[in-house]
Structure formats: C-alpha cells, structure tokens
Chain A
Amino acid sequence: MTEKITQKVSSNGRIVIPKEWREKLALKDKNEVELELKDDKTILIKKKTHPLEIEDNLFGDVSPFTEEELNQAKKSLFPNEE
C-alpha cells in the first residue's frame, strides 16, 4: 500500500516526516535516514538500518557455546599453555 501526502519545502530544503509515518518506522530522534534520488525525479527516504538490526538468526541453528567448547577454542589458540 502506498500512502501520499503533500508538503511545503522550507527555504533550506527541510520537510517534516509525518508523526504517524515516523511511528510506523520506529524512527526516533537522532536516527539516520538514507536519501536516494531516482531518475532525477523521485526522492526515496529510507530508515538507515544498523547491521545488527537484521534479525535473520544467522546462527539460529547452532547451539550457544558450551564451557567445553570455549575451553577447546582457547586450547586451539594456545595449545601448549598450562
């Protein structure tokens, strides 16, 4: 679904993103947005996503470290250490 509004651009190029839209995107104070100019006609504004925000469970099918694994990993780094 596409929503549209019309806004006036201020003298220094500022526009306001409507509160409802900011809430939908969870866009908060100091968050960053990316602006994309398409074909010299359209400006697309996207909320900048921090790479850690990507919730795709990269390691989801692996079990968390066990104590034994941590010890083995350490020994793998320094095998001759007492």
Chain B
Amino acid sequence: MIEKAVVDAQVLFYFHYDYQKIPPILQELKQKVINGEITIILPTIAIAELLWKMRRAGKINAFKEALNRWESSENVIIDDFNLKVIKLMLKNVKSHELHDEIIAMTCKKHSTNIIYSKDLKFNENFNLQLRSW
C-alpha cells in the first residue's frame, strides 16, 4: 500500500524553493511524490498560511501557479476543512490550538499517522509520527 502523509505550510513552501536548499528529507519526499511512492495530503488551512506569507511577499502569481500545480499533480490530495474534521475533533477531550487540531485531524481523516512538519506539538499532543528536519 502506498504511504500517505499530511504536510504543513513550510513543506508546501519548500516544494517550490531552490531544490539544493531544501532540507534533504523534503527533497526525498518531493521525489517520492513524483515517483508515486507516497501520497501527500495538503490541508487547506496550510495552504491558507502559505497564501498569507506570499501575499506579504507580493508573490501572489507564484502562489497561484503553485496552487495550479498541486491541483494537477498526481499523488497530491488537497483536503478541504469540512464536517468530517469537526466530527473527529469532537472525539478529543482536551482543548488544543484549532490550527494544530484541524491539521492533526486531517491525518486521522485520511487514516495516516505521518506528518511532515517542524512542529513538535503534533507528536506531543496528537501522538503523530513527526518527520522533521
């Protein structure tokens, strides 16, 4: 079975950054996506964070192009924040930062435990397998 993983806003940024400057683990991830060895899930909330950054940098056209590429890429799923995620959030007893909880529950929605991120809270609070750099 092909591995699935959720990625955060930083990963989305690095996918379109100078390849030589990308952390090796993300170079490897990008190659695996291209080769069809992994499916990545892009939460819309992470896409929104990147939009926030690229707007401030005046790079909205570059962002639009990146979005087009994700939409037309095989092995890339753009996941809309929806009621399924809310229902998974209801199962959590503790209150968490909404941003982190939505992304963590996106993992659950897609039956994966793997997340590419630098945020340790995904492991500490949600027991996800963090692939960091």
Contacts and interface: CB of A to CB of B under 8 A. Distances in A.
Interface of A: 30, 50-55, 57-60, 62, 64-65, 69-70, 72-74, 76-78, 81
A57 B59 CA distance: 12
Interface stretch (B15-23, B82-90, B108-116, B123-131): B15-23
A81 B101 CA distance: 13
A65 B73 contact: no
- Describe A's contact surface by its main secondary structure: loop
B62 A70 contact: no
A51 B72 contact: yes
Interface in B95-121: 97-99
B9 interface: yes
- Describe B's contact surface by its main secondary structure: helix
A64 B9 CA distance: 10
28 contacts: A50-B33, A50-B74, A51-B68, A51-B73, A52-B73, A53-B34, A55-B19, A57-B16, A57-B17, A59-B59, A59-B66, A60-B17, A62-B13, A62-B53, A62-B54, A62-B57, A64-B10, A64-B13, A64-B17, A65-B13, A65-B53, A69-B53, A73-B48, A73-B52, A77-B49, A77-B98, A78-B97, A78-B99
B18 A50 contact: no
Contacts of B73: 50-52
A77 B9 CA distance: 13
Interface in B20-37: 30, 33-34, 36
